[in-house]
């Protein structure tokens, strides 16, 4: 098998949670080209993935895409989520082997299907992983073990810490207050309270970096303004040219705090300690949307589960600040 197309054309966080699937495909089939169908915004970042050889960008021009996919002569296509449009694309592209998840009525259109229903208490990245796993099993290929860290750019850490103006022994605490539209977020005043209490309760010298994209700058500025009369070091991140550069720069962080957003999951790729704030759904969001950071370096908080579970203003910020500060003090104790 020479070329595989993997279709994953949605949000940043969902794409990142497919990296374990990309890893086992590339590790198991090192001489096979792994190419991924992605949304335009994902192109630069997808090309940084060490397990992806190339991308096909979803231009929205289906006729052109069919011809492009045909010309690429794929041996197989792995469809992480199908709809009628995607089915039309892959069926017209003459790809010999097609596999998709075994759920929804679209499953009956694919000759090969995989159970991607992960167990209760398992993270959602397991879904795409199980799809790739079944593909490999169908081809009698041994499944490789996952590494503890999926993206190692630690050689760039110091240059990015200089970019974010880290001084002396400062710890860089990144905070991304935007939501990406996928979930709720803490109110601005609660972010300011969280920063204040972490700064008061930690033994470390912290510099807080507020990251944002697009129109989220106003939110970051508002949080910074609430802290202007304090001595807390709070800076707005200087924008970078591409998502790929921003993703690489997160290697500079000593902790990343956010809601269930793409940037939080990027931090997980670097095995940076992560703090997630999730809506309190009954589907155990702390487990479902957990980052790819190793378990001992993950913290997560939700409002009370129930009818008000999406009200992020109900998150116990004082408790969260205490837990975060205790983690920082312990994790970086040898440097205090």
- pLDDT per residue over 62-93, tens digit each? 999 999 999 999 999 999 988 889 999 999 99
- What's the confidence (pLDDT) of residue 109? 85
Q: Please state which CATH class domain 157-335 belongs to.
A: alpha beta
Mean pLDDT of the residues in the chain? 91
In the predicted model, is pLDDT for residue 306 greater than 70?
A: no
Q: Please state which CATH class domain 3-138 belongs to.
A: alpha beta
Read off the pTM: 0.92
> Beta partners for 175?
210, 257
Confidence of residue 184 (pLDDT cuts 50, 70, 90): low
In the predicted model, is pLDDT for residue 292 greater than 60?
A: yes
Confidence of residue 304 (pLDDT cuts 50, 70, 90): confident
pLDDT digits (tens, 9 = 90+) for 18-60: 999 999 999 999 999 999 999 999 999 999 999 999 999 999 9
Domain boundaries, the chain: 3-138, 157-335
- What's the confidence (pLDDT) of residue 11? 82
Residue 191 burial by CB count (10 A; 0-12/13-18/19+): exposed, middle or buried?
buried
Mean pLDDT of 303-308: 70
CA-to-CA separations, 118 to 91, 128, 183, in angstroms, rounded: 27, 10, 21
Mean pLDDT of 200-227: 95
Is 254 in a helix, a strand, or coil?
Answer: coil
- What's the confidence (pLDDT) of residue 235? 97
Do the domains at 3-138 and 157-335 have one common CATH topology? yes
Query: 209 near 176, Cβ under 8 Å?
Result: no
The size of the chain, in residues, is 336
CA-to-CA separations, 11 to 19, 46, 145, 188, 262, in angstroms, rounded: 13, 12, 26, 24, 8
Non-local (6+) Cβ contacts of 272 within 8 A are 250, 251, 253, 254, 255, 256, 293, 297
- In the chain, the percentage of residues whose pLDDT exceeds 90 is 74
Angle at CA of residue 331, ends 330 and 332, nearest 5°: 95
- What's the confidence (pLDDT) of residue 106? 79
**Rounded Cα gap, residues 29 and 310, in angstroms:** 42
pLDDT digits (tens, 9 = 90+) for 101-138: 988 777 788 899 988 888 777 888 999 999 999 999 99
């Amino acid at each position: 098998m020479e070329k595989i197309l993997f279709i994953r054309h949605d949000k940043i966080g969902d794409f990142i949670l497919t990296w374990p699937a990309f890893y086992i495909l590339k590790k198991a089939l090192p001489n096979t080209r792994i190419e991924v169908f992605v949304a335009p915004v994902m192109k630069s970042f997808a090309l940084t993935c060490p397990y992806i050889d190339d991308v096909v960008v979803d231009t929205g021009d289906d006729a052109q895409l069919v011809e492009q996919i045909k010309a690429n002569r794929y041996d197989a296509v792995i469809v992480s989520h199908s709809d009628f449009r995607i089915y039309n694309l892959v069926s017209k592209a003459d790809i010999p082997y097609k596999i998709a998840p075994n759920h929804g009525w679209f499953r009956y259109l694919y000759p090969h299907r995989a159970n991607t229903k992960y167990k209760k208490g398992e993270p959602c990245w397991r879904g795409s992983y199980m799809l790739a796993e079944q593909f490999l099993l169908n081809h009698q290929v041994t499944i490789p073990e996952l590494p503890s860290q999926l993206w190692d750019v630690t050689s760039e850490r110091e240059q990015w810490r200089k970019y974010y103006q880290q001084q002396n022994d400062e710890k860089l605490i990144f905070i991304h207050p935007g939501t990406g539209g996928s979930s709720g977020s803490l109110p601005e005043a609660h972010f300011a309270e969280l920063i204040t209490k972490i700064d008061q309760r930690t033994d470390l010298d912290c510099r807080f970096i507020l990251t944002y994209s697009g129109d989220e700058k106003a939110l970051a500025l508002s949080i910074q303004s609430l802290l202007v009369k304090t001595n807390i070091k709070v800076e707005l991140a200087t924008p970078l040219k591409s998502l790929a550069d921003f993703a690489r720069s997160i290697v500079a962080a000593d902790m990343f705090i956010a809601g269930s957003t793409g940037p939080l999951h990027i931090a997980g790729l670097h095995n940076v300690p992560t703090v997630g704030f999730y809506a309190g759904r009954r589907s155990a969001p702390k487990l479902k949307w957990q980052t790819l950071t190793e378990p001992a370096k993950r913290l997560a908080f939700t409002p009370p589960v129930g009818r008000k579970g999406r009200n992020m203003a109900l998150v116990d910020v004082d408790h969260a600040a205490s837990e975060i500060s205790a983690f920082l003090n312990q994790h970086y104790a040898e440097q205090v």
